[in-house]
Amino acid sequence: MKQHLKHPVFKTISRLAGEQQVQAYAIGGFVRDIFLNRPSKDIDVVVLGNGIEFAEATGRALNTKVAVFKNFGTAMLRYREVEVEFVGARKESYRSDSRKPIVENGTLEDDQKRRDFTINALAIALHPNEYGQLIDPFGGLQHLEQQLIKTPLNPLETFSDDPLRMMRAIRFASQLDFTIDEEAINAIKAQKERIRIVSQERITDELNKIMLSARPSAGFNYLFDTGLLHLIFPQVAALHGVELVNGRGHKDNFYHTLQVLDNISATTTDLWLRWAALLHDIAKPATKRFEPGHGWTFHGHEDRGARWVPKLFAQLKLPLNEHMKFVQKMVQLHMRPIVLAQETITDSAVRRLLFDAGNDTDNLMLLCKADITTKNEYKIKKYRQNFELVQQKLKDVEERDRVRNWQPPVTGNDIMQLFGLREGREVGIIKNQIREAILEGDIANTYEAAIAFTIQKGEEIGLKVVAKSN
Q: Could you tell me if residue 255 is inside a domain? A: no
CA atoms of 392 and 109, how far apart (whole Å):
63
Percent of the chain with pLDDT over 90: 60
Q: Could you tell me if residue 114 is inside a domain? A: yes
The reported pLDDT for the residue numbered 245 is 85
Domain count, the chain: 3
Asked if residue 180 and residue 133 are part of one domain, the reply reads no
Report in angstroms the alpha-carbon separations of 354 from 267, 328, 407: 22, 16, 12
**pLDDT tens column, 58-72:** 999 999 999 999 888
Q: Could you tell me if residue 226 is inside a domain? A: yes
Asked if residue 41 and residue 142 are part of one domain, the reply reads yes
Asked if residue 132 and residue 65 are part of one domain, the reply reads yes
Q: Could you tell me if residue 424 is inside a domain? A: yes
Could you tell me if 168 and 116 are in contact, meaning their C-beta atoms sit under 8 angstroms apart? yes
Q: Could you tell me if residue 228 is inside a domain? A: yes
Asked if residue 52 and residue 34 are part of one domain, the reply reads yes
Domain harbouring 210, CATH code:
1.10.110.30
Asked if residue 89 and residue 44 are part of one domain, the reply reads yes
Instruction: For the beta carbon of residue 252, count every other beta carbon within 10 angstroms.
Output: 13
Mean pLDDT calculated for residue range 94-106: 61
How high is the mean pLDDT of the chain?
89
Region for residue 83 given its phi and psi (left: phi exceeds 0; alpha: psi -120 to 50; beta: otherwise) = beta
- Where do the H-state alpha helices sit in 177-321? 182-191, 200-211, 217-226, 228-232, 234-237, 253-265, 271-279, 284-287, 301-316
Q: Is the pLDDT of residue 310 over 80?
A: yes
Instruction: For the beta carbon of residue 294, count every other beta carbon within 10 angstroms.
Output: 9
The reported pLDDT for the residue numbered 104 is 62
pTM (two decimals): 0.84
Percent of the chain with pLDDT over 70: 94
**What letter represents residue 181's amino acid?**
D
Mean pLDDT calculated for residue range 13-25: 95
Report in angstroms the alpha-carbon separations of 30 from 22, 25, 53, 264: 21, 11, 22, 30
The reported pLDDT for the residue numbered 446 is 86
Q: Could you tell me if residue 15 is inside a domain? A: yes
Q: Which domain holds residue 421?
A: 412-460
Q: Is the pLDDT of residue 363 over 80?
A: yes
Q: How confident is the model at residue 42 (pLDDT cuts 50, 70, 90)?
A: very high
Mean pLDDT calculated for residue range 23-46: 94
Phi and psi at 332, nearest 5°, equal: -60, -40
Q: Could you tell me if residue 36 is inside a domain? A: yes
Q: How confident is the model at residue 437 (pLDDT cuts 50, 70, 90)?
A: confident
Domain harbouring 137, CATH code:
3.30.460.10
Q: Which of 116, 146, 176 is the last residue of a domain?
A: 146
Q: Which of 96, 118, 146 is the last residue of a domain?
A: 146
Asked if residue 122 and residue 44 are part of one domain, the reply reads yes
Asked if residue 134 and residue 48 are part of one domain, the reply reads yes
Asked if residue 166 and residue 119 are part of one domain, the reply reads no
CB proximity list for 197: less than 8 A, separation 6 or greater: 97, 98, 99, 163
Asked if residue 163 and residue 135 are part of one domain, the reply reads no
Buried b (16+ CB within 10 A) or exposed e, 209-248: bbbbbebbbbbbbbbbebebbebbbebbbbbeeeeeeeee
Asked if residue 133 and residue 14 are part of one domain, the reply reads yes
Asked if residue 129 and residue 77 are part of one domain, the reply reads yes
Instruction: For the beta carbon of residue 41, count every other beta carbon within 10 angstroms.
Output: 13
Q: Which of 126, 146, 166 is the last residue of a domain?
A: 146
**pLDDT tens column, 336-361:** 887 776 666 777 788 788 888 888 98
**pLDDT tens column, 274-296:** 999 999 999 999 999 988 878 88
Mean pLDDT calculated for residue range 154-168: 94
The reported pLDDT for the residue numbered 149 is 98
CA atoms of 466 and 453, how far apart (whole Å):
16
**pLDDT tens column, 209-227:** 999 999 999 999 999 999 9
**pLDDT tens column, 395-431:** 777 777 666 666 778 888 888 888 888 888 888 888 8
Mean pLDDT calculated for residue range 448-466: 88
Interstrand relation of 90-93 and 102-105 (parallel, antiparallel or unpaired): antiparallel
Q: Could you tell me if residue 352 is inside a domain? A: no
The reported pLDDT for the residue numbered 403 is 61
Mean pLDDT calculated for residue range 35-53: 92
Asked if residue 140 and residue 31 are part of one domain, the reply reads yes
